[in-house]
A and B are shown apart, each in its own frame.
Chain A
Amino acid sequence: MADAVPLSVVLVLAVDTATPAVTAGVVDLTPGSPPRLLAERVTVNAKAHGELLTPHVQEALARAGKRLADLDAVVCGSGPGPFTGLRVGLVTAAALGQALNRPVYPVPTPDAIALDARTGKPLLVATDARRREVYWAAYDAAGRRTDGPHVDRPADLAAKLPAVASAAGEGAEIYAEVLGLPVVEARYPSPVSLVAAAAEELLAGARPAALTPLYLRRPDAVEPVGRKRVTKG
């Protein structure tokens, strides 16, 4: 894992569970060419991340005619996304990386969606954060993130909308009326774009960043209230 040797062809597994899509794909990356999808397996079911992700990884590999041991690296969407599902992808990627002794690269999920949208103009990516909120980030014409990710109510986001031409992501579709932006088709992150977002690091054999989920929200936890005092006897 510590080797910083640039690789010529990299076989990458991409996973993401930050949206209702349970996403696994096998992607081939060569310097100078866009990443190439060998096979993918995607199911949209917000409640089945834990059940389906590893089987999807196996099926995508089987369709690509590859085995887990053939992989050079793993790329994982790091959110933001609803907590429970998001963690499935990250812990699966982390365990795969450990067991296979391969690097795991986290990629902010909206960055991949922005690459999927490929509008060539400033873009908003909004995913569904549930509780009537969206996770959002803004991108410039070249696809570089200029703001976010943040979490907001759609109306609050609409009031402070950055200068963008259109919006992508499921959150942009659900709240299209509130946001008042034309929606481009790119609902969930694709394996190819997840890999594209990490392509430079992958090809350089760079040391991966810490595999930390982008939570944005505080945990749903309440600190215990003050204890009752009793006179010491």
Chain B
Amino acid sequence: MPEVASRAHLEAMVPTMRRALEKADVELSDIHSIAVTAGPGLAGALLVGVSAAKAYAAALDKPLLGVNHLAGHVAADTLEHGPLPKRCLALLVSGGHSQLLLVEGLAERITEIGSTVDDAAGEAYDKVARLLDLPYPGGPPIDKLAKQGNGCAITFPRGLTGPRDAKYDFSFSGLKTAVARWVERQERAGEEIPLADVAASFQEAVADVLTAKAVRACKDLGVDTLVISGGVAANSRLSGLAAERCAEAGIQLRVPRPRLCTDNGAMIAALGAHLVAAGAKPSPLDLSTTPGLPVSTVQVF
């Protein structure tokens, strides 16, 4: 609901800033620079944030940094696990993103090597949750229900895993449809729906594809560190399976705590701080918002 979100952003801006300053026990005048998401995201929401950031930067006479939201998700991990190695792979999974990124320095080079061709992983969770009459957002309730079920009970399709499919791209639309069909078939046959098994088998399919592709990309590109971030990173099966497979493959797995995985301001501040340390120039105060900003553009000028 873009319009509702933008309204909430406007109302929340000043109180949120006040709370953040209080919690951190700092004054606005202590701030060195102002980092803000310039994209990607919803146009109306981006505009509220960027407009406020410009005003703060002008009023405080501090540098403005318009940064990439996706790079922010990767930077979030540095708050938990310290600096990233020279090269690492990042798997971003949330309601809005499903991407595999090759990160060769947060301030230097981020390359998207794969992404979803249809739904984001989190969207698939939301749609399946609706199908199973579970609350929104779908991730946590499916995860909880899945723990009582058998992930091997139903074999749902693994999208884009054929020999000729794009190696690092994802597709979750077919999976969602397959779950819907399976449930409908059971209903038509008058059978009970084993909700826990459906949830577990769906979750297994998502975690299997995401981790298999991420680990494969690490091996192919000779990268020994995988970062998983975004709202879906908190999913227990995804992190569990990733831990297993990374251990097997000798890959170091880094998953920031859930509060840092979901969208948050600290990740944008972390990226801003990293850019400042790397000697980044400030963004101009006539900075535009870019709803479709590619991940390769870490800072916008």
Contacts and interface: CB of A to CB of B under 8 A. Distances in A.
Contacts of B166: none
Interface string A77-94: 000000110011011111
Contacts, number: 123
Contact of B59 (A53, A84, A100): A100
Interface string A20-59: 0000000000000000000000000000011111110110
Interface stretch (A163-171, A173-181, A225-233): A225-233
Interface in B44-74: 44, 47-48, 50-60
A49 B131 CA distance: 42
B244 interface: no
Interface stretch (B85-93, B187-195, B230-238, B245-253): B187-195
A51 B286 contact: yes
A91 B183 contact: no
B7 interface: yes
A99 interface: yes
Interface in B128-182: 130-133, 136
Nearest to B43: A84
A68 B58 CA distance: 8
B194 A91 contact: no
**Secondary structure class of chain B's binding surface, majority of residues:** helix
Contact of A95 (B47, B56, B288): B56
Interface in A100-129: 100
Interface stretch (B13-21, B111-119, B216-224, B263-271): B13-21
Nearest to A227: B130
B52 A94 contact: yes
**Secondary structure class of chain A's binding surface, majority of residues:** helix
Contact of A227 (B58, B133, B195): B133
Contact of B3 (A83, A98, A213, A233): A83
B10 interface: yes
Contacts of B289: 50
Given A91-B9, A219-B3, 16 more contacts: A54-B57, A54-B58, A68-B58, A83-B3, A87-B6, A87-B44, A88-B51, A91-B52, A92-B52, A94-B13, A95-B55, A98-B14, A98-B56, A215-B7, A219-B4, A228-B133
Closest 8 CB pairs of A and B: A99-B59, A95-B55, A219-B3, A233-B192, A54-B54, A221-B1, A233-B193, A95-B52
15 contacts: A51-B288, A52-B286, A54-B55, A54-B58, A54-B285, A55-B286, A83-B7, A87-B47, A88-B51, A91-B48, A91-B51, A91-B55, A95-B14, A98-B56, A231-B187
